[in-house]
A = this chain, B = another copy of it.
Amino acid sequence: MALVFSSGSATSGPRSASKILNAARDVLSAQGYPALTIEAVAAAAGVGKTTIYRWWPSKEALVADALAEIFRADEIPDLGDTHAELRQAVDMTIDNYTNEDMATALPALAASLLPHPELMTRFRETFLHRKRENIAAALHRGIQRGDLPDDLDTDLVQDIWAGTILYRRLMTGSPLDTDLAEHLVQLTTKAPPLLPRRESPRTSR
């Protein structure tokens, strides 16, 4: 993974990039996003803070590169089984947000980049596009197999999947378990039940 958010102006490149990015994730885990200061990362990495300022223009850029290294955007292999492939897609998204750092830092990052269109574009390229393309490929295979409606809105499906997972992790705190994964997959299938039902009917609050 290249340092997409690094300045990278000079001719060679940072010698201690991975040491710094590891330290950034360590600080993130131990102290949380607000306490992640450049000076703290420098201390944790055993590095002069000058070195960090040399290569990353801001705390946001540093965090983005640190997260990009552990963000999963795998290709979904053709398993000949639409359900299994979609389940793999959902599981990958759940994996990404199960990570504590990712769950807190990604939304904080997006929120602070939102007013800066150019940085936001780079953020989307790093954390959205590749993953979405790979999942879209799996969805299209499902459509061609006749397992999914041929006018399926693949973008909306992915918004629903990732949105629900992010929302549960960030806001409600509900578990990201296999039931959720299965419900989200079943949302896309042709036949009912299209909307997930509760396992055991309860009175719901």
Interface residues of A (CB under 8 A from B): 32-34, 103-105, 107-108, 110-112, 114-115, 120, 124, 127-128, 132-133, 136, 139-140, 149-157, 159-160, 162-168, 170-174, 180, 183, 187-188, 192-198, 201, 204-205
Identical copies in the complex: 2
- CB pair A171 B164 closer than 8 Å: no
Q: How far is the CB of A110 from chain B (nearest CB, A)?
A: 5
Which residues of chain B come closer than 8 Å to A165, judged between CB atoms? 163
Identify 5 residue pairs between A and B in the complex whose beta-carbon atoms are under 8 Å apart, listed by A's number.
A107-B108, A107-B170, A128-B172, A153-B183, A156-B198
Which residues of chain B come closer than 8 Å to A159, judged between CB atoms? 164, 167-168, 172, 174
Separation of A159 and B33 alpha carbons in the complex (Å): 25
Which residues of chain B come closer than 8 Å to A152, judged between CB atoms? 195, 197-198
- CB pair A205 B133 closer than 8 Å: yes
With both beta carbons as reference points, the residue of chain B lying nearest to A154 in the complex is identified as B204
